[in-house]
Amino acid sequence: MAERVLTEFIKALRGAGVSVSTAESLDALRVADLTGYDDRARLRQALGMALAKSEADKWRYYQCFDDFFRFVAPRPPASSEPPGAPPASDPPPPQPGNAGASAGGGGGGEGQSDSEVSDLARLLEQDDPARLSQRMAAAVRTVDLTRLRVITQKGLFARRVMLAMGGEALDQDIFRLEAQHDPRGLALRRARDALRQTVIEEVNRQFLLQARETGAQLREQTMREVNLRDLAEFRDVQALVQRMAQRLVTLHGRRQRSSRKGLLDARRTLVSSIRHDAVPARLHWKSRRLRKPKLFVICDVSSSVASASRFLLMFLHAVNSLLPRVRSFAFASRCGEVSALFAASGDADTAIARILSEYAGSGTDYGDMLRFFWRTCEADLDRQSTVIVLGDARNNDLPAEQTVLRQIAERSRQVLWLNPEGRNRWGSGDSVMPQYLPYCRRAMPCRNLNQMERFVDSLLRDLR
C-alpha cells in the first residue's frame, strides 16, 4: 500500500514538472523505508533530498507534497443542528438483521426497521470527520482515481466514490425518512450534499495531481500535430519549440563529437599493438576531413506562410550552436537579407517580430525573390552550400523564373523546399511548385511541428 501511494506521488510529481528517473524512484522507496511514514515532516524532507535536484524542483516538490498528502475533512452540512437528530454520543444500535448491509456499506430495503439507517447515514448523524475521511479515502482507493484522464470524467468518478462509500443506501434512508416525515431525513439530505461536495473537491484535487502529466502529454501532442497557422492559439508553444530544439542539440551535439573523433582504424591499432605484446595500448582513429557547410534560408513571410516561417526561424535559431554560418532572407512584397537582425537583437522573438513587420505583405513574387537571391549570393554559393526555401510557391500568376532556381541548384550542393501546403495542392491555382520541383533535391510538406522537427533533424544529420 505504501509503495503504491509513493508511486502515485512520484507520478504526480512528474506531472508537476519535476523530472524523476527510475533510479531516483527506487532511491525514494528506500528513503521512505528508512524514515517511515509516521513523521510527516521528516518524510517530506527526506523525499525532497532524493527527488528534487534544483531550486525550481524543490519548490514544485514541496507544493506537490503538501497537495498530495493533504488531509481532506468533510464539509459541515448547511445546518449543523438538524432538527430531531439524535445526540452524537448515543447512536442508534445496530440491529442483528443488518449485519450484511453494514459490512458492504449498503443498507435499506425490505425488512429494515424505521429507526435503522445505513453505516454512512449513521456516520453523518454522528458527525465524525475522522471516520468519514477514512471511509472516503478507502472509497477513493477502491475507485482508483489514478485512472482519471480527461476533465469530463470527473463527474463519473465522483459518483463512483459516493457509491463506494455507501451513497445508494444513504439515498434510500433519506427517501424513507422523508416519506415518514421524519426530520432526520432533512438533516441527512443536507449532510449528504455537503459530503458530495467534499467528494467532488477531492476528485478535482486528484485530477490536478494525477491527470496533470497525461493532460500535458495530450496538450503537447496536440500542439505537435496542429497546423502551424493555428499554433497562435496555444500559450506555451514557444517553450515546446525550445524543448524540441534542445533535444536536437543534445542528440546531434553528441553525434558531432563522435564524428570529429572518427572511426577506429583497426589495422593501424593492431599493427601498433605488436610492440606492446599484442596489447592495443594506443588506439588509432581514421581521420576525417571536416566540411564547412554554408546554409542559406529564404522564408516567405506573406500572411499565408508567416506562421511556418516564424517557427522555422525559431528552430534554426535555437539550434544555432550546431549550424554553420547561416544567412537568412525574407520576402513577400519585397526581398531582403535579415541575418543582421538576429545578430543585432540576439533574441529570436524580437528579430522575427521585426522581420514580419518589415517584410510581411501581399503580392508575393517568387521570381523576383530568386533573382534577388542570385544577385546577392552568387559569389558565395559553392558545393558546400545548402539553400532552404520555405514557401507555398503561389506566385500570383507572375513568371516563376525556374531557370534562376536551376542556376542556384547547379551552383550549390542542394536546394531543399518546405511547403506548408499538402502535396495534393501543389500546382493548383497559382501554385508554381511543379516548375520548381526538378531543381530541388528534396521538397516536403511542412504543416506542423512534427514535420518541422523531422526536417531540422535530417538537416543537422546531413550537415555533419
pLDDT band at residue 72 under the 50/70/90 scheme:
low
Other C-beta atoms lying within 10 Å of the C-beta of residue 430: 13
pLDDT score recorded for residue 115: 61
pLDDT score recorded for residue 282: 84
pLDDT band at residue 436 under the 50/70/90 scheme:
very high
For 152-196, what is each residue's pLDDT tens digit?
Answer: 788 888 899 899 988 888 888 888 888 888 888 888 898 888 888
For 229-244, what is each residue's pLDDT tens digit?
Answer: 777 766 777 777 877 8
pLDDT score recorded for residue 67: 80
Average pLDDT score, the chain: 80
pLDDT band at residue 259 under the 50/70/90 scheme:
low
Cβ neighbours of residue 81 under 8 Å, at least 6 residues apart? none
pLDDT score recorded for residue 84: 45
Of the candidates 329, 441, 319, the one whose C-alpha atom is nearest the C-alpha of residue 376 is 329
Residue 91 DSSP symbol: P
For the chain, how long is the longest CA-to-CA vector? 106
Q: Which residues pair with 331 in a beta bridge?
A: 300, 335
Which position has the higher pLDDT, 108 or 186?
A: 186
Choose from 4-18, 141-155, 188-202 the range with maximum mean pLDDT: 188-202
pLDDT score recorded for residue 289: 64
For 326-353, what is each residue's pLDDT tens digit?
Answer: 888 988 878 888 888 877 766 777 888 8
Cβ neighbours of residue 239 under 8 Å, at least 6 residues apart? none
What's the rounded Cα separation, in Å, for the pair 273 and 123? Answer: 83
Average pLDDT over every residue of 2-10: 80
For 384-427, what is each residue's pLDDT tens digit?
Answer: 889 999 888 888 888 888 999 999 999 998 999 999 888 898 98
pLDDT score recorded for residue 103: 40
pLDDT at 124 exceeding the cut of 70: yes
pLDDT score recorded for residue 373: 93
Of the candidates 446, 463, 182, the one whose C-alpha atom is nearest the C-alpha of residue 323 is 463
pLDDT at 448 exceeding the cut of 80: yes
Q: What is the 3-state secondary structure (H, E, C) of 106-158?
A: CCCCCCCCCCCCCHHHHHHHHCCHHHHHHHHHHHHHHHCHHHCCCHHHHHHHH
pLDDT at 454 exceeding the cut of 60: yes
Cβ pair 202, 136 in contact under 8 A:
yes
Tell the residue number behind the cell numbers 547547379, with chain if given.
Answer: 410
Which position has the higher pLDDT, 311 or 416?
A: 416
pLDDT band at residue 101 under the 50/70/90 scheme:
very low
pLDDT score recorded for residue 321: 66
> Does the CA dihedral 205-210-213-219 come out positive or negative?
negative
pLDDT band at residue 262 under the 50/70/90 scheme:
low
Rounded alpha-carbon distances, angstroms, from residue 38 to 44, 50, 132, 404, 456:
11, 18, 21, 77, 52
Q: How many CA atoms lie within 13 A of 48 on its CB side?
A: 19
E-strand spans in 408-460? 414-419, 442-445
For 273-288, what is each residue's pLDDT tens digit?
Answer: 888 888 888 888 877 6
Q: Retrieve residue 424's grid coordinates.
A: 495534393
pLDDT score recorded for residue 376: 92
